[in-house]
A = this chain, B = another copy of it.
Amino acid sequence: MTDTADIGPEDFDPTDTTPTPAGWMTSEEIAAARAQLPIVYVDAIPVRVDDSGDVVAVGLLLRVNAEGQMTRALVSGRVMYHERIRDALLRHIEKDLGSVALPQIPASPQPFTVAEYFPTPGITPFHDPRQHAVSLAYVVPVTGDCQPQQHSLDLAWLTPEEACEDTVMVEMHGGQGALLRQAMAHVGRLG
């Protein structure tokens, strides 16, 4: 599931405190459009790398959902009207990891994959009951101090091998566990 798994479908991204510039849709208008159009998203997998660029840790956000379950999530969010993908990546990483995370946004717009979140389960590995989201996915090294923001309880750093374990997978929702494994495959560190 894209965005925070603990947020109900009637409530669009209340954690997003970015002021809405003139011309951007209100939450209500987006709620209507998202029932009828695919919505552009980005997914970021925050990682720590060593001097050779090898991934040594993956950052996962810990949250408690409406049912009181502990869940883990990637950095994820919508691309806004007139916003570049790279700016959306930067905005969502700062929103979730803080303003001094110092992410290395990729120079190339080529994502490592595209996650297609469908409102109907089973069409792809990705599912979001609220909408059809087409999410461009990137691995993003962060070099600064990362702090969980807003609704997140914690930010846990796992080794690539730990991050791919089944015990982690069951705590991720909407296919983000599969996306995390795809990311580790892309960096050559699939457990």
A residues contacting B by CB (< 8 A) are: 23-25, 29-30, 33, 35-40, 47, 49, 51-55, 79-87, 89-90, 104-114, 116, 118-120, 123-125, 132, 134, 136, 139, 141, 178, 181-182, 185-188, 190
What B residues does A35 contact at CB under 8 A? 23
| Among candidates B52, B55, B84, B105, residue contacting A116 with C-beta atoms closer than 8 Å | B84
What B residues does A112 contact at CB under 8 A? 108, 110
B104 and A141 within 8 A (CB): yes
| Among candidates B30, B53, B190, residue contacting A182 with C-beta atoms closer than 8 Å | B190
Look across to chain B and name the residue whose beta carbon is closest to the beta carbon of A126: B188
A111 and B110 within 8 A (CB): yes
- SS class, residues of chain A in contact with chain B: loop
| Among candidates B53, B82, B107, B190, residue contacting A178 with C-beta atoms closer than 8 Å | B190
A127 CB to closest chain B CB (Å) equals: 12
| Among candidates B25, B110, B134, B141, residue contacting A79 with C-beta atoms closer than 8 Å | B134
B36 and A90 within 8 A (CB): no
Look across to chain B and name the residue whose beta carbon is closest to the beta carbon of A136: B114
Kindly name the residue among A109, A124, A181 whose own CB sees the greatest number of chain B CB atoms within 10 A.
A109
B190 and A120 within 8 A (CB): no
19 A/B residue pairs, CB under 8 Å, sorted by A: A25-B36, A30-B37, A33-B37, A38-B80, A38-B81, A40-B40, A53-B90, A53-B104, A54-B107, A84-B116, A108-B113, A109-B187, A110-B110, A114-B136, A124-B188, A125-B190, A134-B136, A182-B185, A182-B186
